Amino acid sequence: MAKKRTFKFEENFATKIFRIQYDNKDFIAAHYTRRYSDEDVETIGPGDWIGLTKEPIYRMITDTDKESNTFGERIRDPDQDIEDDTIKTHMIPNIPFTAKSAADFRKLVGHTTLGKTKLIYKFREVSVSVPDEDEFWKPTVSMKDIFAKYAIPTMSSK
């Protein structure tokens, strides 16, 4: 069995990097692919994510077993197979946005045969392309300020 390669920021290229506001906290995540050189990046396969954890969203039912401690409550469907392809997933950010994480993720930025890395602010209500790249990397700029500056005008224009 092949040994799983350890992730190194310098060896990968991000197609998209997200600065995410989740649960009133700032996080960073990226969709990336392997970079061999600026002219040679992996184009086969869907790529992968760093900074996001997949959590399954299982089908829920009301417990109708009168002998059960959870009778009448919503519970996970016991008949749903764990390997069921219909299980949806919820992506949860797991890398806080700090000066160190910003410096690490900045190593993923580049311009390759797949194009230039897209920087995106992600809020629950809307995603916004980054107009000021330098501002994106500053941990001192709060997502609350970014929301007021870029997201609210975008939402009101729709």
Instruction: Please answer whether residues 20 and 93 qualify as being in contact, where contact means their C-beta atoms are separated by less than 8 angstroms.
Output: yes
CB 106 within 8 A of CB 92: no
**Alpha-carbon span 130 to 127, nearest angstrom:** 9
How many Cα atoms sit within 13 Å of 156 on the Cβ side? 7
Instruction: Kindly report the average pLDDT of the chain as a whole number.
Output: 86
Q: Check residues 114 and 137 and name the one with the higher pLDDT.
A: 137
Looking at the DSSP bridge assignments, the partners of residue 134 are none
pLDDT digits over 67-99, tens only? 989 999 998 887 777 666 667 788 899 999 999
For residue 158, the model assigns a pLDDT of 56
Q: What's the pLDDT tens digit per position in 23-44?
A: 889 999 999 988 887 777 887 7
pLDDT value at 2 more than 60: no
The pLDDT, as a whole number, for residue 87 is: 72
Percent of the chain with pLDDT over 90: 37
The residue ranking higher by pLDDT, 72 or 153, is 72
What's the pTM?
Answer: 0.78
Domain parsing of the chain, residue ranges:
11-51+94-156, 54-91
For residue range 50-62, list pLDDT tens digits in order: 999 988 887 888 9
**What does the pLDDT average to over 138-157?**
83
